[in-house]
Chain A
Amino acid sequence: EVQLVESGGGLVKPGGSLRLSCAASGFTFSSYSMTWLRQAPGKGPEWVSTISSSSRSIYYADSVKGRFTISRDYSKNSLHLQMNSLGAEDTAVYYCARDEGRFPFLHWGQGTLVTVSS
């Protein structure tokens, strides 16, 4: 069974940083691209970033480019999102998801809440 478990969320002040993690199990982690999405309160989900299975290709939404960095650790089957220069607009539940290529997101984690507030 595919399992994705996010951690690392919390309350951070504007301009601060946070590092999210996603522990993956139940599938061959190195065979899949992985994606972070987020969902602001009362809004639909928003794609944030994707890293390819080999880590050679990385993509970011314009809204986070230059501030967020996605990475993965094959030895620990984990996905990470380093978030810097956080602003109120980054307040959201952050989900990791297994990327299915040209197919919708079938496997999501339970999410971790990031709140940016002074």
Chain B
Amino acid sequence: VLTQSPGTLSLSPGERATLSCRVSQTVTSSYLAWYQQKPGQAPRLLIYGASNRATGIPDRFSGGGSGTDFTLTISRLEPEDFAVYYCQQYVRSPWTFGQGTKVEIK
């Protein structure tokens, strides 16, 4: 089970966002991913292997953590970053996702 917190994060553009994903069983860092999803769109892969940015992802997005606690940090929020973010483990079948954190404009 992946538990994301907080459920909603209300921030202003330019602020720093820190999202949490706690996994019920230890996940080897290599197998934790983060996605961004905007309304009406499919999820977009941001981070894989807990800390590696996917191709084309700006460096204001960074992932960290290990074991059972992982974080996604957006250093300075841009207007296009307001969206829902999901973590996913892909170490144990079936791959599972968290319930999401919504980053909304304050």
Binding site for B on A (CB under 8 A): 43-47, 59, 61, 95, 102-106, 108-111
Contacts and interface: CB of A to CB of B under 8 A. Distances in A.
Contacts of A103: 48, 90
A44 B41 contact: no
Given A44-B86, A59-B93, A104 B98 contact: no
Given A47-B95, A59-B94, A103-B90, 11 more contacts: A43-B99, A44-B97, A44-B100, A45-B97, A46-B97, A47-B94, A47-B96, A104-B33, A104-B35, A105-B43, A105-B88
A105 B45 contact: yes
How many B residues are at the interface, by size bracket? 20 to 34
Contacts of B90: 102-104
Main SS at interface, chain A: loop
B40 to A, nearest CB: 8
Main SS at interface, chain B: loop
A33 B54 CA distance: 21
Contact of B45 (A44, A104, A110): A104
A47 B2 CA distance: 14
Residue among A61, A104, A105, A108 with max Cβ neighbours from chain B (10 Å): A104
Interface in B51-84: 54
B43 A45 contact: yes
Nearest to B96: A47
A110 B48 CA distance: 21
Contacts of A44: 86, 97-100
Given A102-B31, A104-B33, A45 B45 contact: no
